Amino acid sequence: MPRKFLLAQIIFAAAFLLFASKGVLAQIVTGSGVATSTAITGEYKDGDVVCVDGSDIGSVCKKAYDSNMIGVIVENPGVSFIDDSGGVPVVSSGNVYTNVSSINGSIRRGDFITSSTTPGVAQLAKKSGYVLGLALEDYTNTNANEVGKILVSVSVRPAILTTGAGDNLIELVKEGVSGAFESPLAALRYIVAGILVVASFLFGVLHFGKMAKSGVEALGRNPLAARTIQFGILLNVLIAIVIMALGLGIAYLVLII
């Protein structure tokens, strides 16, 4: 084979690989999770946060800490299960490039991210409530109205961020009331969780009160067995605390499942 012809082949192959690689780079994968087909109404774009109503019809989220969040729109997912219904690929679990703003402050790697009042755009989560996931990159912008894009580990769930019990209770009540109007399933979860918490606390308090009364009466009748009776009262206090803790734990599982 002539050297000139061989050299021409090498140049052609190199040029082909160069342009082919550019074409591949043009199709940037914007999500590593598995995308599923979701019907979306209204305007949307790649990286928007999606919420679903009771009829399973999605739209971009327009409320902060929305309990109806399901994931992020990804135009070029790594893996997708898209049907012929014309749905939009949405990733509910995985690392996804998400539209964010600094409307609630600068975002640092490891911060919780949630929905915002800006349609489809996520923000820093500062209080307890539903979150979209964790930021895997920093984002800072002095213009709160400008939208950027960062990598987020998507995993929608409730998160406790405020330390005050009163604040957490208020947020729980707010989410429960709003959920009753927006999502029957979310409302049912809050109702069941609330019943479990109240029931466990009532049972624990009543159990402790009954045992404490019986213990005082037993001490009056038999002072010589005071140490044994006091041990029994302490044991019942621990049982009451365990019952209340179990009620809170089960209620939390009801909310996140």
Q: Is residue 134 located within the same domain as residue 213? A: no
Is 62 found in the same domain as 132?
A: yes
Shared domain check, 152 and 208 = no
Instruction: Answer whether residue 17 is part of any domain.
Output: no
- Structural domain contains residue 226: yes
Same domain, 97 and 217: no
CB 85 within 8 A of CB 37: yes
pTM of the model: 0.58
**Whole-angstrom distance, CA of residue 227 vs CA of residue 233:** 10
Assess if residue 98 is contained within a domain. yes
Query: Are 71 and 58 a contacting pair, CB within 8 Å?
Result: no
Structure tokens that stand for 8 in this block: 């021409």
Please give the Cα distance from 25 to 21 (Å, whole number). 6
CA 11 to CA 106: how far, in whole Å? 49
State the alpha helices, DSSP H only, in 135-183.
Answer: 165-182
The total number of structural domains that make up the chain: 2
Residues 124 and 207 in one domain: no
Which CATH number does the domain housing residue 189 bear? 1.20.20.10
Q: Is residue 8 a part of any domain in this protein?
A: no
Q: Are residues 81 and 153 in the same domain?
A: yes
175 within domain boundaries: no
Residues 120 and 192 in one domain: no
Q: Are 51 and 68 in contact (CB under 8 A)?
A: yes
Closest CA to 68 of 175, 170, 145: 175
Are residues 225 and 193 located together in one domain of the fold?
A: yes
Residues 35 and 124 occupy one common structural domain? yes
Same domain, 127 and 250: no
User: In b/e form, how buried is each residue of 207-236, taking b as 16+ CB within 10 angstroms?
Assistant: bbeebeeebeebeeeeeeeeeebeeebeeb
- Do residues 152 and 193 both lie within one domain? no
Are 83 and 189 within one domain? no
In a domain, 16, yes or no: no
Would you say residue 9 lies in a domain?
no
Q: What does the pLDDT look like over 137-154, one tens digit per residue?
A: 999 999 999 999 999 999
Predicted confidence pLDDT, tens digits, the chain (257 residues): 455 444 444 454 454 444 444 443 334 555 577 888 888 999 999 999 999 976 678 999 999 999 899 999 998 887 777 666 678 999 999 999 999 999 999 999 999 999 999 999 999 999 888 999 999 999 999 999 999 999 999 999 888 886 555 555 555 555 555 554 445 556 677 777 778 888 888 887 776 677 666 766 665 666 666 677 677 777 777 877 888 888 888 877 776 66
Gap between the Cα atoms of 232 and 108, Å rounded? 51
- For residue 177, being part of any structural domain is answered with no
Q: List C-alpha distances in Å: 34 to 71, 80, 95.
A: 11, 5, 10
**Under 8 Å between Cβ of 68 and 92:** no
Q: Name the strand (E) or helix (H) holding 75.
A: none
Give the range of the structural domain holding residue 251, as residue numbers without chain letter: 184-256
